[in-house]
């Protein structure tokens, strides 16, 4: 079993939809939880960073962490075509462990 599981998609939604991206993990030692966005042939860009259970909101993005269920989510409201990218969840103890990434396409 992988330490971090993420549905690879692909996921296609119409513009304006709410997008829900999810990851589960098995290692309770993970302390920090991150979401990265990666465009094709580019390095990952940090979107959200949390270290506790609960919700964290930044503009159209909301990150949710449930440590008891070992489950994290990223919600994108009012999705835009420019949000089309691969979204990677990542978790850290000493090193960063990535999910496999979910490819998202927002259709105009």
Binding site for another protein (CB under 8 A): 8, 34, 36, 41-46, 49, 88, 90, 92, 95-96, 98-101, 103
- Nearer residue to another protein within complex by CB, 1 or 68: 1
Nearer to another protein, 18 or 52 (CB): 52
Q: Are 64 and 54 in contact (CB under 8 A)?
A: yes
Cβ(103)–Cβ(9) below 8 Å:
yes
Q: Which of 16, 23, 50, 35 is nearest to 85 (CA)?
A: 35
Give least dist CB 6 to another protein, A.
8
């Amino acid at each position: 079993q992988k330490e971090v599981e993420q549905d690879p998609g692909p996921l296609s939604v119409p513009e304006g939809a709410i997008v829900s991206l999810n990851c589960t993990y098995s290692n309770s030692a993970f302390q920090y939880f991150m979401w990265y966005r990666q465009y094709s042939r580019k390095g990952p860009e940090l979107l959200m960073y949390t270290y506790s259970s609960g919700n964290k909101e930044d503009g159209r993005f909301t990150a949710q962490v449930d440590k008891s269920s070992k489950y994290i989510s990223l919600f994108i409201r009012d999705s835009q075509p420019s949000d089309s990218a691969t979204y990677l969840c990542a978790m850290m103890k000493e090193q960063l462990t990535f999910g496999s990434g979910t490819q998202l396409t927002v259709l105009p």
